[in-house]
Chains A and B, each alone.
Chain A
Amino acid sequence: MNEIEKYLDNVCRTLGGSHELREHIREELREHLEEAIETHIAKGISRDEATRKAIEEFGQSEDVGKGLESVYGHRMMALVIDKAMEWKERNMKTGWKWSFVATVALFGVIAAEVALVLCMVVFVFPKIQDTYESILGMDAPGYYVATLHVVRFLFRGASWGILGLFIAAWALFEWRNKSENKPVIRLGAGAVIALAVTIATWWVAFATIVPLAQTSGFIMRQDLRPTAAAATKNAAIAFADLRSSVAAKDWNAATRALGHLNRAINPLRQRPAAAATLVAMRRPQDIERAQQLLDEMAEKAENLFLTINRDPKPEKVSSLAPRDFEELSKSWETFCKEIQCESTDVQIPAAATEQTKTGGNP
């Protein structure tokens, strides 16, 4: 490309308007410059010198371009690229140390994110799986299962392949790329990888945190009676199968029945509360009585609270509060007596009942 075309490229680089318009302007300016060159050559100077002189007389390409942009506007993309290159020229050439620090920091972030995902896969995912399967006896959400499969494939099946590919690509880049923009390209590639890994990390975190939040809620509110009943029923069926298999000396069927038995009793083994529920379910009337007493006690505690806190007159509080407290005390004593003596082996500390009788002073 000759000097004239380079000059015209610079003039029209960020110029707005249609392609035809730019070509039209280029042609007009080219004709002017070539006529100027011919005039200088006619005065006896060389073509190169004449070209240099003609361009010099025409003025700085940036100034001419800006002048034309004031009429036709500018092209946004070219302008953005120019500004980015200007910024790069200003900062990156002198700031290679910063580009090195930025690259190291970026790859540090990538390594930290990969380590976080690895920790989740190794330590957290099995717990969630176990919670769903053994404790809640329900299927894990689809997004969790899909994430688990993808992450396991990446870390177990394809991890060496991905790592090898990454190292090979990097080595190839370092070996083949000789451009002065190398640090910027390296930083850009690192930023793209970091963005992708960040998105993956967020996804894995989502797939971990949401099931944890959901299962903890389920566990706290779960009515264990259906779980305990289903586990007992399944265990009974499995045991019957086991009995008939052993009698028939069908050891394969016996092995399967043992597996069923194991899966049936696991929810009871791993959750003491489920086993306790199983015991309590044998005396449903006692559970209802305990709940009735607890409701009664809660109501009387509420009454005492209102008496103490709603009436602003201290003398009225002094006269009414002991009466409410007495009511609450009676409920508490009934609860302690019935639960302790007739329903369960729960030992209510004697000090606690004594404390209520003496008005809270040990």
Chain B
Amino acid sequence: MEKNVSPMDPELTKGTLALVILSLLKREPMYGYAIVATVRECTDGTFEWTEGSLYPCLHKLESGGFVRSKWDGEAGGRRRKYYHITRAGEELLAEKTASWLMLSKAISQIMEKTNERD
């Protein structure tokens, strides 16, 4: 499917990165590249980010105790560092989700009213 939407505001992406990561990790433990690939697949490439920005966010979440990591992989093959969401991470995800839904709803209402006036 061809991408025909304008690029997302990088600042907006940066602010929601923790929410995206935590919600993906709630599904299953994942490693960095898999998170990037899943986001790309789910959003058809709409969610634009530089892949390197994922790791500072992941490490920040890990140092805050919201995720845990573990190296995994066959000997001589590719080693991957899997991240798991913790209980604290789930609580943070719930807070962030509620906050995002409120914000999303509020912005949608504003946009609707603006469109009605137009």
Contact = CB atoms under 8 A, between A and B. Distances in A.
A binds B: yes
Interface of A: 11, 25, 27-29, 31-32, 34-36, 57-61, 63-64, 67-68, 70-72
Interface of B is mostly: helix
Contact of B33 (A31, A61, A64, A68): A31
B118 to A, nearest CB: 38
Interface string B78-95: 111100000000000000
Given A31-B33, A32-B32, A70-B60, A25 B55 contact: yes
B96 interface: no
Given A57-B50, A59-B51, A71-B63, A31 B80 contact: yes
Contacts of B59: 25, 68, 71-72
Contact of B56 (A32, A35, A67): A67
A36 B32 CA distance: 11
A35 B81 CA distance: 13
Contact of B60 (A34, A58, A71): A71
Contact of A35 (B50, B63, B78): B78
Interface size class of B (residues with CB under 8 A): 10 to 19
Interface string B9-22: 00000000000000
Contacts of A31: 31-33, 78-81
B51 A35 contact: no
Contacts of A67: 52-53, 55-57
Given A60-B50, A64-B56, 9 more contacts: A29-B52, A31-B32, A32-B36, A32-B51, A58-B50, A58-B51, A59-B51, A70-B56, A72-B59
A63 B59 CA distance: 15
Contact of A71 (B36, B51, B56): B56
8 contacts: A31-B33, A32-B33, A34-B78, A35-B33, A36-B33, A67-B56, A68-B56, A72-B59
A72 B58 CA distance: 12
A64 B53 contact: yes
A68 B59 CA distance: 8
A57 B57 CA distance: 17
A27 B71 CA distance: 11
Interface of B: 31-33, 36, 50-53, 55-57, 59-60, 63, 78-81
A61 B55 CA distance: 12
Q: Which of B36, B50, B53, B80 counts the most A-chain CB atoms under 10 A from its CB?
A: B50
Q: Which of B50, B52, B56, B80 counts the most A-chain CB atoms under 10 A from its CB?
A: B52
Contacts of A68: 55-56, 59
Q: Which of B36, B56, B78 counts the most A-chain CB atoms under 10 A from its CB?
A: B56
A4 to B, nearest CB: 13
A59 B33 contact: no
Q: Which of A59, A64, A67, A70 counts the most B-chain CB atoms under 10 A from its CB?
A: A67
B52 A64 contact: yes
A31 to B, nearest CB: 6
A70 to B, nearest CB: 6
B32 A28 contact: yes
A13 to B, nearest CB: 14
Contacts of B51: 32, 36, 57-59
Contacts of A59: 50-53
Contacts of A60: 50, 52
A29 B78 contact: no
A91 to B, nearest CB: 31
The 3 closest A-B pairs by CB, nearest first: A59-B50, A67-B56, A64-B52
